[in-house]
A = this chain, B = another copy of it.
Amino acid sequence: MMIKLTLRRALLALLLPGLAAATARADEGMWLFNQPPRELLRERYQFDASEAWLDHLQKSSVRFNSGGSGSFVSADGLLISNHHVGADALQKLGTREKNYLRDGFYARTPAEEIKCLDLELNVLQSVEDVTARVNAAVPPEATASAAFAARRKIIAAIEKESLDRTGLRSDVVSLWEGGAYQLYRYQRYTDVRIVFAPEQQIAFYGGDPDNFEYPRYDLDICLFRAYENGQPAHVKDFLKFSPAGAREGDLVFVSGHPGHTDRSRTVADVAASRNLLPFNLDRTKQTEVLLTSWSARSEENARRAKEDLFRLQNSRKRSEGLYAGLLDPKLLAGKTRAEADFKARLAGKPEFAGALAAYDKIAAADQVLWTQFQNKRFIDLGFNCASFDLARTLLRAGDERPKPNGERLTEYSEAKRQSLELTLFSDQPLYPDYEILKLANSLTFLAGHMGVEDPLVQQVLAGKSPRERATELVQGTQVRDVAFRKRLYAGGASAVAAANDPMIELARLVDPESRAERKVRDDQDEIIHQSYAAIARAKVALLGTAGYPDATFTLRLAFGTVKGYAEEGQPVPAFTTLAGLYERAREMKNRPPFDLPATWEKRRAHLQLDTPYNFVSTCDIIGGNSGSPVVNRAGEFVGIIFDGNLQGLPWNYAFNDEQGRGVAVESAAIVEALDHVYGAKPLVRELLDGQRK
């Protein structure tokens, strides 16, 4: 097993031979669109990534702010993403009578398309480097707190200036852990409507047991349409949908928004997260058991908890994979060696003393965070309860908005205002019984881990049992009423105080502690960022390397080959077929989660069963890439990423394509299913024609 250290650079656009040799055999990289791996693609695949090809792919790619990716597939604003990316929207639109998440949805005409409650889409329009301006505003000798405040202030100013000037969503993105700052401008879409979703049973066929496994048989797709001014948006850039799909051995690309990776972190920094993961895993499993057991008590409970439960199970399986990777001595061996070598090169050179010291600074910052963790300061985690989140947002908006833009907590800055209000004023249904369940559990967790004698825990519980306290808070609060939220938000801190709402008063009670915990994190993060920036500069100077920064939920390009792999000596082919789906159901005796929806049972005879269904490729992806289009050399849509296999989970720390793979739904299967299972002819026509009618 080959493990590589992802080398880093600040702003070099060209790949130098030294690194090319090291990565020659792996299709590694979550590349920036403004620093694409042109040489590498030319040498390894004889492919020329032209400006026009890249620009078109970039502007066809869509970020789902709820945490995923997608792409335009028609000039009339039709978008495709995963069912599990749309699940949040489907869940919020569902009622006791209409379970869209479970049963699916299809709008035969635009009039039937239904608007998502608080979904924001972003399409990247331009990128501007602002590193010099950000760094100039931070005094070199400032304390961590002062540096963090200065950096927050200049970033808020740059974002607001850009928003005012262009009207585009403007985010300053920190890349290379603070080695560079870039201003990303996005077209925003907030009127997004659901066009088609299959049953969750087929979208997430095999459920939790088959999640992160391969072979797979999932139709994990969801179609949306972006609207502007009440009409379908007309978009210039969209992907041509290929009915032919992909073939074994094809060079393919993935354009999407990988959420987070830790590849450039130091060995000690990675080891620090190995200390924290078991706690997070315990917490996830604890909530998973709660929701599983509550869901089993009635169908309506199951409907209400479905999306939360999916997210928990997904996160649990992912974290277990990461943790297993971290406990495998082989994973860190290569990284440890490379780091030791590099530190040896830094040693004794005064100009790199800062870079060398940075390793220790990062370790010291981790120690501060670990101490905070061991002191069991868990208030800032919140209470896993939407009513509390709304209450805290109202409280903090009242406190933060009167401050100068640059001094606010980041999420209350002017540039983030529209997104904040979209979330705060969402009409999403909140169920008191479900809120009580989760809040009582969270209070129990708090008492268990911070200790019931802790004075703050005592204040939070107010002399009651967790269940009684949760009941009185959830039943007593008005925050589930949108009009109430709008009134308090408009009225500011005095209106918030006058409301005397029990949930808001809970948020007020814990706010000093919560902010204090966050400040410790922010300050240490600043130290960590500065330290990584110093290491990055030394790497550029000594190794002259090129590459790509760790993932930051911003647009990236990955490339790779459609190919299978071997597992315990057995070959795992690249493709599955529709026939394989029926075979899997038979083999698993049609027991949930391996049962087929009635539609699929009924329409079996109408399907071309040898149609390729799911496939794997070596493209470098991670969580956040869900819904990313897979395109061929011609830039055509040949599939959609919906998962990675278990062996790909440690990609968070280091890429390795011996067995690790990204998993996609093939475009041909999408057409086949829409046409012959769901009878969605107009939709098929729009996909194939690239426009409606």
**Complex contact A293–B451 (CB within 8 A):** no
| Contact assessment for A324 and B466 in the assembled complex, using a CB-CB cutoff below 8 Å | yes
Asked if A482 is at the interface (CB within 8 A of a chain B CB), the reply is no
Q: Tell me, in angstroms, the Cα distance from A274 to B465 when the chains sit together.
A: 14
Give the docked Cα–Cα distance between A589 and B292 (Å): 18
A285's contact among B286, B298, B327, B593, by CB below 8 Å, is which?
Answer: B286
On chain B, the residues within 8 Å of A429 by CB distance are none
Q: Which residues of B contact A327 (CB under 8 A)?
A: 444, 447, 452, 461, 465-466
**Is A289 positioned at the interface, with any CB of B under 8 Å from its CB?**
yes
Closest B residue to A589 by beta carbon equals B299
Cα–Cα distance between A202 and B461 once the two chains are bound (Å) = 40
Contact at A293–B464, with CB atoms within 8 Å?
no
A320 nearest CB neighbor, chain B only: B444
Pick the interface stretch among A137-145, A234-242, A275-283, A622-630.
A275-283
Question: Which residues of B lie under 8 Å from residue A299 when comparing CB positions?
Answer: 588-589, 591
User: Which residue of B is nearest A286, CB measured?
Assistant: B285
Contacts of A537 in B (CB 8 A): none
Report chain B residues within 8 Å CB of A330: 465
Say if the beta carbon of A296 comes within 8 Å of chain B.
yes
Least Cβ distance of A280 to chain B in Å?
10
A465–B208 CB distance below 8 A: no
A461 to B324 CA separation, bound complex (whole angstroms): 13
Contact check, B282 vs A286: say whether CB atoms are below 8 A apart: yes
Within 296-325 of A, Cβ neighbours of B (below 8 Å) are at 296-299, 316-317, 323-324
Interface string of A15-56 (1 = CB under 8 A from B): 000000000000000000000000000000000000000000
Cβ of B328 and Cβ of A465 under 8 Å apart? yes
Q: In the complex, what's the smallest C-beta–C-beta distance from A334 to chain B, in angstroms?
A: 15
**CB-CB under 8 A for A296 and B465, given A285-B285, A451-B275, A452-B274:** no
Contact indicator B207/A296 (Cβ below 8 Å) = yes
Q: How far is B296's CA from A317's CA once the two chains are assembled, in angstroms?
A: 14
| Any B CB within 8 A of the CB of A571 | no
How far apart are the CA atoms of A447 and B282 in the complex, in Å? Answer: 14
Residues A277 and B466 in contact, CB atoms below 8 Å apart? no
Is A448 among interface residues, defined by CB-CB distance under 8 A? yes
Residues from chain B with Cβ under 8 Å of A274 in the complex: 452
B448-A277 in contact (CB<8A): yes
Chain A positions 443 through 458: 1 when the CB is less than 8 Å from some CB of chain B, otherwise 0:
0110111011000000
Residues on B with C-beta less than 8 A from A282 are 282, 285-286
Q: Which residue of B lies closest to A295 (CB)?
A: B209
- Contact between B329 and A467, CB atoms less than 8 A apart: no
A288 within 8 A of B: yes
Bound form: Cα–Cα A168–B521 in Å: 65
Q: Is A463 an interface residue (CB 8 A)?
A: yes
Contacts of A448 in B (CB 8 A): 277-278, 281, 323
* Contact (Cβ within 8 A) B277 A289: no
List B contacts of A589 (CB < 8 A). Answer: 299
Beta-carbon contacts under 8 Å, A209-239 to B: 209
Residue in B closest to A279 when the chains form the complex, CB atoms: B448
Are A297 and B329 in touch, CB under 8 angstroms?
no
Closest chain B residue, CB of each to CB of A207: B296
Q: Once the chains are docked, how many angstroms separate the CA of A211 from the CA of B298? A: 14
User: Are B208 and A296 in contact, with the CB atoms below 8 A?
Assistant: yes
A122 to B209, CA, bound (A): 42
Whether the pair A296, B444 counts as a contact (CB closer than 8 A) is no
CB-CB under 8 A from A324, the residues of chain B are: 444, 465-467
In the bound complex, how far is the Cα of B445 from the Cα of A293, in angstroms?
23
Q: Which residue of B lies closest to A316 (CB)?
A: B289
Contact with B along A237-266 (1 / 0, CB 8 A): 000000000000000000000000000000
Chain B residues near A286 (CB-CB < 8 A) = 281-282, 285
In the complex, residue of chain B having the shortest beta-carbon distance to the beta carbon of A592: B592
A323 touches which one: B289, B296, B444, B591 (CB < 8 A)? B444
CB-CB < 8 A to A328: which residues of B?
465, 468
Q: Which residue of B lies closest to A283 (CB)?
A: B282
Measured between alpha carbons, how far is A449 from B328 in the docked complex, in Å? 16
Q: Within 8 Å CB of A323, what residues of B?
A: 444, 448
A209 in contact with B466 given A289-B285, A323-B448 (CB within 8 Å): no
Distance (whole angstroms) from the CB of A498 to the closest CB of chain B: 31
- Taking the closest CB of chain B, its distance from the CB of A81, in whole angstroms, is 26
CA distance A324 to B443 in the complex (A): 11
Q: How far is the CA of A588 from the CA of B295 in the complex (A)?
A: 12
Which residues of B lie under 8 Å from residue A208 when comparing CB positions?
A: 293, 296
Q: Provided the pairs A328-B465, A329-B465, A448-B323 are in contact, do residues A209 and B296 lie with their beta carbons within 8 angstroms? A: yes
Q: Give the docked Cα–Cα distance between A208 and B297 (Å).
A: 9
A285 to B329: give the CA distance in the assembly, Å. 27
Residues of B within 8 A of A209 (CB): 293, 296-297
- List 16 extra interface pairs beyond A207-B296, A323-B448, CB under 8 A: A209-B293, A209-B296, A274-B452, A282-B282, A285-B288, A288-B289, A289-B289, A296-B593, A298-B588, A299-B588, A324-B465, A327-B452, A327-B466, A328-B465, A329-B464, A329-B465
Shortest beta-carbon contacts, A-B, top 7: A278-B448, A328-B465, A209-B296, A285-B289, A209-B297, A282-B282, A285-B285
24 A-B Cβ contacts within 8 A? Answer: A208-B296, A209-B296, A209-B297, A275-B451, A278-B445, A281-B286, A281-B448, A282-B285, A285-B286, A285-B288, A285-B289, A289-B316, A292-B292, A293-B317, A296-B593, A299-B588, A299-B591, A324-B444, A324-B465, A327-B447, A327-B452, A327-B461, A328-B465, A330-B465
